[in-house]
Amino acid sequence: MPSQPSDITPPLAAFITERHLASLTTLRADGSPHVVPVGFSYDPATREVRIITFDGCQKVTNARRGGRAAVSQVDGGRWVTLEGVIRATTDPDEVAAAVNGYAARYRQPKERPDRVALVITVDRILASRALLATEEPA
């Protein structure tokens, strides 16, 4: 069931802070999907997914073209997909926010002079029913 970013429930908020990797799907120039494993953080205040990576990789090339992307995280029967418009940035403040989000969720990443942040402005959420439920099952 699709949901809006403003509809994040406590179970969903907890799930997207647990230490899980995810799949990032971006689109190549020919429209075919490019799917890679990533670590990510989500900022509910800005409704942004942040991913750290490095310049020159395919996901950065795809993000620089703009368009839509999705990050999907799965753990057993629980899953979430966060969708939206993607962009790549080397802005120091945005890269620092992405690094800090990654460090809080996973571990402090190594320094990279060619660091790039991918930012997805989330406008649609798909998730397992249990993560979207606002009440405990009877």
Q: pLDDT of 9-23, one tens digit each? A: 899 999 999 999 999
The answer to whether the beta carbons of residues 68 and 11 sit under 8 Å apart is no
Instruction: Give the CATH number, domain containing residue 119.
Output: 2.30.110.10
Residue 136 lies in a domain: no
Residue 133 lies in a domain: no
Residue 21 lies in a domain: yes
Q: pLDDT of 18-74, one tens digit each? A: 999 999 999 999 999 999 999 999 999 999 999 999 999 999 999 999 899 999 999
Q: How far apart are CA 10 and CA 45, in angstroms?
A: 15
Residue 83 lies in a domain: yes
Q: Which residue has the tokens 């703009």?
A: 66
Report the number of distinct structural domains present in the chain.
1
The region, left, alpha or beta by phi > 0 then psi within -120 to 50, assigned to residue 113 is alpha
Where in the sequence is the domain holding 103, given as residue range(s)? 2-128
Question: CA triplet 88, 15, 59: central angle to 5 degrees?
Answer: 20
Q: Which residue has the tokens 């090339």?
A: 61
